[in-house]
Amino acid sequence: MLIQPSRRDLLRYAGAGAAAGLLPSGALAASDPWARARDIARTVRAPTIPGRVFDVTNFGAKGDGRTLNTAAIAQAIDACNRMGGGRVLVPAGRFLTGAVHLKSNVELHLAKGATLAFSTNPAHYPIVFTRWEGIELMNYSPFIYAYKQKNIGLTGQGTIDGQSDAQHWWSWKGPWRGTIDHGWREGMPDQRKSRAVLFQMAEDAVPVEKRVFGHGHYLRPSFVQPYLCDNVLIEGIRVRRSPFWNIHPVLCRNVTMRGVNIEGHGPNNDGVDPESVDHMLIEDCEFDTGDDCIAVNSGRNADGRRLATPAQNILVRNCHMREGHGGVVVGSQISGGARWVFAENCRMDSPDLWYAIRFKNNALRGGLLENFYYRDINVGRVSRAAITCDFNYEEGEKGSFKPQLRNVVIERLRAENAVRVLDSQGLPGAPVEGITLRDCDFRGVTQPSIVRHTLGLEFQNVRVNGRPVDRLETA
């Protein structure tokens, strides 16, 4: 019997903003939009976990780096859940494991000096209901997974190590032009065939229970994925060598991600992908990734439109982005829409960081993207542009679903080496609408901006290479 979101689940999550007591969009648009950000910070609260402690070594786990501890960790989580909840403690040591499935009222805590090292054997990850690049399917379990649970945590000063590299997981990507060698060579198996089959299944409305992948299909699992969960805390941990997306909450409410350090330059190593999430706080985190640092998503193409649940009410603050394709990104799996995303007091700097602020969409995705507010963003160096709005991403104009992006307000963005201020490219009949830059300073600009099919571009106290401008030099 397939476990998947019911229509009741989806309606419940889509309406979470009103249930949380947030002001309606119209009222906020007429007053201070940052009042909504303050409401998000006030509303999102870490789960309350009972004080009981369940040490995994008391269930037979050994931190010798060789013993497979999957069963012992599962027993500790089960016992903790049966007793009403508490902390499952991983003490100092290197604990090898397969998939870890969290349950309600359980906090998995990694002590200082603890490493949870995940097996490189795909057989240690059972087939579960999940989402892959915005599409529902049955596939390898994410390394740390929870489905329809409440009050869960992943915390501590320890490390989760996916052990992915050129020999394990990464080569399944196939051709890739990253900054490191991911191991794939011509003639090796990869994800391309199965990816195309999965995408076509979604377009053909094949029931999810028949979209069964796993062995022989080379679709890499996410690292951490709570799915349809309430009250999630991810705090303090170090995340290394993910096979695919690092932190991937899907259809969750009330998610806190705080003080997490993510490093991994493999293919599709996004830092965090809040997908169809409502109410999420991301703060004091560091990202050094092989893809976008933060990428807000809401489902791909037909599947995203079927579930029709936007990502909304997301606040990013006090984060540091180093290498990555984009710092704060919306898209491209964005067919369910996105709204009310805020970012403030963030630092971004790397010659391998493509863009500071990025929007990705196209006419196959569609989706309404609106109300994005960013302020006090300090950018050292980006290699392509400070800001990009791209409706030509991947498939470009192919498709009949109108992408929409409107009401983007960026205040006090300061870039030392921006190369290009703006690359905004809508589509004929589907323009980007309403970008306001206020009190911004762009230096090191050597290339003209690209502005096509873009309406309502406003500049208020903007300087480029030290000179005030009221419009951009464009190519």
Quick one: how far is CA 172 from the chain centroid?
A: 20
Check if the beta carbon of residue 106 is closer than 8 Å to that of residue 86: yes
Question: Is 85 inside any structural domain?
Answer: no
**173-181 contacts: CB < 8 A, separation 24 or more?**
173/220, 173/266, 173/267, 173/268, 176/267, 178/265, 178/266, 178/267, 178/290, 179/265, 179/290, 179/323, 179/352, 180/265, 180/266, 180/290
**Cα–Cα distance, 73 to 438 (Å, whole number):** 51
Quick one: how far is CA 134 from the chain centroid?
A: 11
Question: Is 84 inside any structural domain?
Answer: no
Question: Is 325 inside any structural domain?
Answer: yes
Question: Is 82 inside any structural domain?
Answer: no
Give the C-alpha distances (Å, rounded to integers) separating 252 from 13, 193, 213, 311, 333. 8, 30, 24, 10, 17
Q: By residue range, what is the domain housing residue 140? A: 7-47+94-348
pLDDT score for 396 = 63
Question: Is 282 inside any structural domain?
Answer: yes
Q: How many CB atoms lie within 10 A of CB 58?
A: 13
Amino acid at 42: R
Residue 452 tokens, joined: 């096509």
Looking up residue 42, the CATH number of its domain turns out to be 2.160.20.10
Question: Is 210 inside any structural domain?
Answer: yes
Question: Is 248 inside any structural domain?
Answer: yes
Q: What is the pLDDT along the chain (475 residues), one digit of tens a residue?
A: 445 676 667 665 555 444 444 445 444 455 799 999 999 999 999 999 999 999 999 999 999 999 999 999 999 999 999 999 999 999 999 999 999 999 999 999 999 999 999 999 999 999 999 999 999 999 999 999 999 999 999 999 999 999 999 999 999 999 999 989 999 999 999 999 999 999 999 999 999 999 999 999 999 999 999 999 999 999 999 999 999 999 999 999 999 999 999 999 999 999 999 999 999 999 999 999 999 999 999 999 999 999 999 999 999 999 999 999 999 999 999 999 999 999 999 999 998 899 999 999 999 999 999 999 999 999 999 999 999 999 998 876 688 999 999 999 999 999 999 999 999 999 999 999 999 999 999 999 999 999 999 999 999 999 999 999 988 888 8
The count of structural domains within the chain is: 1
Question: Is 417 inside any structural domain?
Answer: no
Check if the beta carbon of residue 299 is closer than 8 Å to that of residue 331: no
